[in-house]
Amino acid sequence: MHAAVDPLLVLVLLLNFQLLGTSRLRSVIFSSAAQGVLLGVMALLVHAEVTAASVLVMVSTAVVKGLFIPGMLLRAMRDNAIRREVEPRIGYLPSLVLGAAGTGAALLFAGTLPLAAEHAGSLLVPASLATVLAGFLVLVTRRKAITQVVGYLVLENGIFIMGLTLLEAMPLLVEMGVLLDLFVGIFVMGIIINHITREFSSMDTARLSALKD
């Protein structure tokens, strides 16, 4: 595995904290986009050899995760004239504390796993677990539908990082399938956002609790 992968994973972890600690939707979207670009670069570096297929995975990952989906989210943000997350279910400081605790726990837990020799000293597994946790925290603690979509994106980024440990056994077609799953998920979330906005004139999902039979 290329030595440059771990520094990129450190950047991914720092972006997790940026996502957990900011109320600005534009910053949240840009942080998830930066993660997508980093994952694209890592998808290329973890391969033993640079091939046309690995370059295709890198480009598709960076374009879908780093440009296309964030672009759709920015457009939804502009169309609905929202800029900030208001009154999250868990505050930003507690979210950062939970994220830090989860990252520490991920590092400790990964050290107990019987990993392959090439992954034993790598941050791939702990970064994967920490990113899944960060995405889950964003998904369940934020009220704006756009922020929840970003939480789903970050959670899937963690799963994608875990998949990088299996590249020798995972066909490239399966990697492309991960991107397809992500695209379908974002498409569904886009429909949900559209219906929430149309029915409630708001992106606050807490208003769904007002629904009655």
What is the 3 state secondary structure string of the chain?
CCCCHHHHHHHHHHHHHHHHHCCEHHHHHHHHHHHHHHHHHHHHHCCCCCCHHHHHHHHHHHHHHHHHHHHHHHHHHHHCCCCECCCCCCCHHHHHHHHHHHHHHHHHHHCCCCCCHHHCCCCHHHHHHHHHHHHHHHHHHCCEHHHHHHHHHHHHHHHHHHHHCCCCCCCHHHHHHHHHHHHHHHHHHHHHHHHHHHHHCCCEHHHHHHCCC
Q: Over the stretch 47-69, which tens digit does the pLDDT of each residue have?
A: 667 777 677 778 888 888 888 88
Mean pLDDT of the chain: 78
**What is the average pLDDT across 73-97?**
81
Domain range list for the chain: 5-114+122-165
Q: Over the stretch 110-123, which tens digit does the pLDDT of each residue have?
A: 878 776 666 667 78
Q: Over the stretch 135-184, which tens digit does the pLDDT of each residue have?
A: 999 988 888 778 888 888 888 888 888 877 766 555 455 455 556 656 65
User: Does pTM top 0.85 for this prediction?
Assistant: no
> Distance (Å, rounded) from C-alpha 117 to C-alpha 203?
47
